[in-house]
Amino acid sequence: MTSTNSRRQFFAGAAASVAGLAVARSALAGLPEPVIQTSVETAPPLVPTTGRPYNPVVTLNGWTLPWRMNDGVKEFHLVAEPVVREVSPGFKVNMWGYNGQSPGPTIEVVEGDRVRIFVTNKLPEHTTIHWHGQRLPSGMDGVGGLTQRAIPVGKTYVYEFEARRPGTFMYHPHADEMVQMAMGMMGMWVTHPKTRHPHISAVDRDFCFLLNAFDVEPGSKTPKINTMTDFNIWCWNSRVFPAIDTLNVRLNDRVRIRIGNLTMTNHPIHLHGHEFLVTGTDGGPTPPSTRWYEVTTDVAVGQMRQIELIADEEGDWAMHCHKSHHTMNAMGHDVPTMIGVDHRGLVKKIQKVAPDYMMMGERGMADMGEMQMAIPDNTAPMMTGTGQFGPLEMGGMFTVFKVRKDQQPGDYKDPGPYKFPEGTVAYEWNGVPPPAPRPASSSDTTPATAKAIKPTAKGMSH
């Protein structure tokens, strides 16, 4: 640890001796050049050119942070800073993140790698980074006040440890945590096994993403940071459907999907058309004897889940959080249920006072997906997305797992809508209905009745 301590003193000294912009330059001299990325596209896997080889992951609507090798140590440079994230086209949110984005870049290393991470704080307040799930010296755990002094504004601190066990991890601040996570500060970390691991299979595609949530009032640009549970923007990597990229794979690929949850509630993640095994948790790869097949796995707050499957059914398969209000974008929750309400005549009366008034919801909410209602600037429609058969009426934590025969290995491009083979799509039935079977003895066709309790001027009476 002596090298870390002397470095820290060096940076503190350099920053104290020079003023203004020169401070930053001087303090950053000798650091790995920070790599900044602002594109919302899913970056192709970063194949390692230095260090030990591994099979890289693909971060949905994200990217992997390049590093430099310095005397056998992998050096990364994370810059904590305000960023603007396009959550979906036409909806940009002022967030805090790392290296130009929220979430920050994925960090990929190999089990046994010595890792040195420089963290420069360009936020308006102090921060730290906690390396969620890692085995490391206590002083590198990044808990402000407990294991280190928080990184002051404008300063660079160094974290240095060995990536001791393979698995899926996350990173996030442990200083003013509620605010900094509500603003989008988080990232993924993948430690690949150094050799064939008995509980880690080689896969053809390896995806990762974080579940995160924001509370952004429609029409505004900055998340409300004091929200406890009632968030309204449910994201995968700070994107919402249909702006979340699809997971595109080749028929019969073995696919791994790594999911971390840094929201304030759990998310049952559900995949259509395939069964999967949970092959890893926060604690690393699970022993095969403990695995069972599922189609939904609950990812609780602060947890990571790694699922694996053989993509052996061609098609467009929905993949989403099974809490149906998490597959919606910003919506008002204080709206009364209108199903079954006879409002004929009422709308005209209201429109005399408020000419733009529309009545919705009396037949369900599907109208929301069909009509292009005017919405405030800078927000995402509540139910949106269009497929080859019409509106999907989705939003938030939803995307499509696309399995295609002709998706080339290494090709992650969206192949477009699935071409359904003739005669394999649910169809309208136009025949003559057969007589409905009825029990021979029953002749009573009177509908059931219910007694209503009506309020009177005096109170309730029958």
Chain contacts with Cu ion (rule: CB under 5 A): 267, 321, 323, 326
CB closer to Cu ion out of 242 and 315: 242
C-alpha distances out from residue 146 to 128, 134, 175, Å: 11, 17, 10
Smallest distance, Cu ion to C-beta of residue 213, A: 8
Side-chain half-sphere exposure of 37, counting CA atoms within 13 A: 21
Closest distance of CB 327 from Cu ion, Å: 8
HEC per residue, the chain: CHHHHHHHHHHHHHHHHCCCHHHHHHHHCCCCCCCCCCCCCCCCCCCCCCCCCCCCCEECCCCECCCEEECCEEEEEEEEEEEEEEEECCEEEEEEEECCECCCCEEEEECCCEEEEEEEECCCCCECCEEECCCCCHHHCCCECCCECCECCCCEEEEEEECCCCEEEEEECCCCHHHHHHCCCCEEEEEECCCCECCECCCCEEEEEEEEEECCCCCCCCCCCCCCCCCCEEEECCECCCCCCCEEEECCCEEEEEEEECCCCCEEEEECCCCEEEEEECCEECCHHHCCEECEEEECCCCEEEEEEECCCCEEEEEEECCHHHCCCCCCCCCCCCCCCCCCCHHHHHHHHCCCCCCCCECECCHHHHCCCCCCCCCCCCCEEEECCEEEEECCCEEEEEEECCCCCCCCCCCCCCCCCCCCCCCCCCCCCCCCCCCCCCCCCCCCCCCCCEEECCEEEC
Q: Please, which residue, 319 or 321, has the CB nearer to Cu ion?
A: 321
Q: Which is nearer to Cu ion, 261 or 281 (CB)?
A: 261
Nearer to Cu ion, 172 or 326 (CB): 326
Q: First-to-last CA distance in the chain?
A: 81
- Integer Cα distance of 278 and 189 in angstroms: 18
Q: What does the block give as tokens for 276?
A: 């999967």
Considering beta carbons, is residue 8 or 270 the nearer one to Cu ion?
A: 270
β-bridge mates for residue 193, sequence order? none
CB closer to Cu ion out of 254 and 322 = 322
CA atoms of 148 and 127, how far apart (whole Å): 11
Of the two residues 199 and 323, which places its CB atom closer to Cu ion in the complex? 323
Nearer to Cu ion, 65 or 240 (CB): 240
Q: Shortest gap between Cβ of 388 and Cu ion (angstroms)?
A: 26
Least CB distance from residue 105 to Cu ion, whole Å? 24
The nearer residue to Cu ion, 121 or 399, going by C-beta atoms, is: 399
Which one, 109 or 269, has the nearer CB to Cu ion? Answer: 269
* Cβ 158 to Cu ion shortest distance, Å: 36
Residue (58 or 299) nearer to Cu ion, CB? 299
- Dihedral pair phi/psi, residue 346, rounded to 5°: -65, -45
Cβ at position 267, least distance to Cu ion in Å? 3
